[in-house]
Amino acid sequence: MSVIETKELYKIYHDGESEIRAVDGVNISITKGEFTAIVGPSGSGKTTLLNLIGGLDYPTKGEVLVKDNDLGKMSDKERIYFRLNHIGFVFQAYNLIPVLSAEENVGFVMELQGKSAKERHQRAVSLLKEVGLEGRENNRPSKLSGGQQQRVAVARALASKPSFVLADEPTANLDSHATSSLLSTMEKLNEKEGMTFVFSTHDPRVMKRARRIIEIEDGKIIRDYTKEVEDQ
């Protein structure tokens, strides 16, 4: 069963008399447990597609179905609630709250969900250990390296027990060592917990680790393949 499905998805912008099709008739289906990279050059439409899948933007036309729920038909309030409970986000800029500790940053989403302090503490500590940050729970972002901050962001994305995690250029600000460590952490979570990851990236290091590649250019999918199948 698909956790994400798009049907004839379009996002069209107008610049004067010009029409820009940032996403142009995209059809994709992603099932539970996939480790997928949406790839393409800057301006190809990959981030716009990720934002539509994540309910951060409305499509011009077409459907985005997440566990059979059509995001395009939800009100703003419904979409916010749905994202909170079903979609984890990891952004290029980390987006951690600077005055909160690592544990508090991870627990923030659960606080919005109404979880108890005890439950927030237990899950945040467990997730930080899972991403290799045991002993760093009380550190604020300024006391963590870029790679460590991004791992806190991954733990935060998982805190709500989402249906899948969307990662928009998560390695763009990281060196090779931090990138390798982060991707290994995500692979472990994918394999151990069956967590679905979808990346938007033009980083060859991410493409190498991804098991499925969806290539997008000028808003259209030009190639979609699973590497294990192609390599046989």
pLDDT tens, position by position, 128-142 = 998 889 999 999 999
22 membership: H or E segment, kind and range: strand 18-31
Q: Running DSSP on this structure, what letter comes out for residue 202?
A: -
Q: Domain limits of the chain?
A: 2-231
pTM, two decimal places: 0.89
Residue 228 has a pLDDT of 65
CA torsion through residues 142, 183, 90, 216, sign: positive
What is the spatial distance between Cα 22 and Cα 44, in angstroms, rounded to a whole number? 7
Residue 232 has a pLDDT of 38
Residue 1 has a pLDDT of 75
Residue 192 has a pLDDT of 85
pLDDT tens, position by position, 59-93 = 999 999 998 899 988 999 999 999 999 999 998 88
Residue 129: count other Cβ atoms within 10 Å of its Cβ.
14
Q: 68: left (phi > 0), else alpha (psi -120 to 50), else beta?
A: left
What is the spatial distance between Cα 16 and Cα 49, in angstroms, rounded to a whole number? 23
Q: What percent of the chain has pLDDT over 90?
A: 77
Pairing of strands 35-39, 197-201: parallel
Q: Which amino acid is at 225?
A: Y
8 contacts 203 by C-beta, under 8 angstroms: no
| Mean pLDDT score of the chain | 92
What are the φ/ψ torsions at residue 152 (nearest 5 degrees)?
Answer: -60, -40
Residue 134 has a pLDDT of 93
Residue 196 has a pLDDT of 94
Q: Which one, of 13, 179, 34, lies nearest residue 92 by Cα?
A: 179
CA torsion through residues 175, 178, 180, 182, sign: negative
Q: Which amino acid is at 185?
A: T
Fold topology of 2-231:
Rossmann fold (3.40.50)
Residue 231 pLDDT > 50, yes or no? Answer: no
Q: How confident is the model at residue 229 (pLDDT cuts 50, 70, 90)?
A: very low
Task: Give the residue-averaged pLDDT of 105-125.
Answer: 94
What is the spatial distance between Cα 45 and Cα 146, in angstroms, rounded to a whole number? 26
Q: How confident is the model at residue 227 (pLDDT cuts 50, 70, 90)?
A: confident
